[in-house]
Amino acid sequence: MQRAGWMGSMLCLAALSVTAHAASDARRETFGALPDGTHVDAVVLSNAHGASARVIALGASLQSLSVPDRDGKAANIVLGYASLDGYLQKPQYFGATVGRYANRIAKGHFVLDGHPYDVPANDGPNSLHGGTRGFDKVLWTIGAVKHDADSASVSLTYVSPDGDMGYPGKLTVTATYTLDDSNRLSIDYRASTDRTTIVNLSNHAYWNLSGEGSGSVMEQRLTIPADAYLPVDATSIPTGEFGKVEGTVFDFRQAKPIGRDIRDGHEVQLLNGRGYDHNWIISRSAAAAPRMVARVEDPASGRVLTLKSAQPGLQFYSGNFLDGTTVGTGGHVYRQGDAFVLEPQLYPDTPNQPAFGSARLEPGHEYRNLIIYEFSTEPAHAAR
């Protein structure tokens, strides 16, 4: 009886140990301080399968994300800075929440309900990602930090006042990051307003599935299930056309290396963007629920990223302006083509192009963009 009791106790302790190890975790830490001394905190989310994500309050940004490769070795697969100084001195939207309007608005101007609005032009003649002080450059408030056996999460909030960067209405925004036990990271963006406005939120993570700082992503294989894309002018504003991908360098309906066609000098669109920096038409309106909008496979590491969202558009950017002047989290220099960006969103310049739908948000309604990043691996022989 005594031995049975001892064995039972040992088994219970072992079970508790396994449970404790298996549970997800969320912990808050200090990442740095702003010039005025304000602390910028971070929250680290982790699970029992070797995945972890660090989210910083500046820009509600994904600063790092480590997931295992086919051999179980974890590596950080998003570009970023090791300290706060980089985000302050040379902001490049690394992992940031972008808004109030993600992507571009032509000439920084739009009309809403007959009233003209001007927002800052910070990308040539156009406004990009909300203007000179978009949501990527403000300090968000960290709210609920939670974890249980299956997932860990953090919610961040920012209140953009009426007239912020020229946009109408007080916009209250939340971004909830959740890392679950299936190596799935989700970002749930929600927004409400007290006055009719426009809104388009997304995340601007730069991905390299072989690991940040490991070199080019041109051999990583991309699938985008879209029959059409939006051609752009020399300033990267959509022309209003809906271009078919069939027979063009923009056809990613079947997986192909990102770099296969990127040097085609006969394609004016690639010259306009110095590579890919275009919006693919996943659908002509938002879907009822998230569905696959992109898939990327890395033959070298075996990592696979499946991206899901209900948004109608997907901006794919091939890291064209990484110029070798940035030292990232791992101490390596980032050069052109060392990462790719996939942003589920409304079409760029929608407020000025009625054929693209509407970016309108009214009081009493909620804007939502749920972005889901699913990570898996495939064996070496599966790489094509």
Tens-digit pLDDT profile for residues 330-377: 999 999 999 999 999 999 999 999 999 999 999 999 999 999 999 999
Residue 1 has pLDDT above 60, yes or no: no
Coil, strand, or helix at residue 87?
Answer: helix
Average pLDDT, the chain: 94
Kindly give the residue spans of alpha helices, DSSP state H, lying in 211-352: 268-273
Give CA–CA dist 305/223, Å, rounded: 10
* Catalytic entry in 129, 278, 297, 343: 343
CA distances from 164 to 36, 203, 348, 349, 354 (A): 21, 20, 20, 19, 24
CA distances from 326 to 40, 72, 89, 316, 333 (A): 22, 29, 11, 21, 6
pTM of the model: 0.93
Residue 374 annotated as catalytic: no
CB atoms within 10 A of CB 148: 12
* Catalytic entry in 129, 147, 204, 278: 204
* Residue range 276-325, pLDDT digits in tens: 999 999 999 999 999 999 999 999 999 999 999 999 999 999 999 999 99
Residue 21 has pLDDT above 80, yes or no: no
With cut-offs at 50, 70 and 90, classify the pLDDT of residue 381.
confident
CA torsion 293-298-304-309 (nearest 10°) is -20
Residue 343 annotated as catalytic: yes
Q: For the residues 94-117, what does the mean pLDDT come to?
A: 98
- Asked if the 23-382 domain carries CATH number 2.70.98.10, the reply is yes
Q: Are 312 and 343 in contact (CB under 8 A)?
A: no
CB atoms within 10 A of CB 139: 17
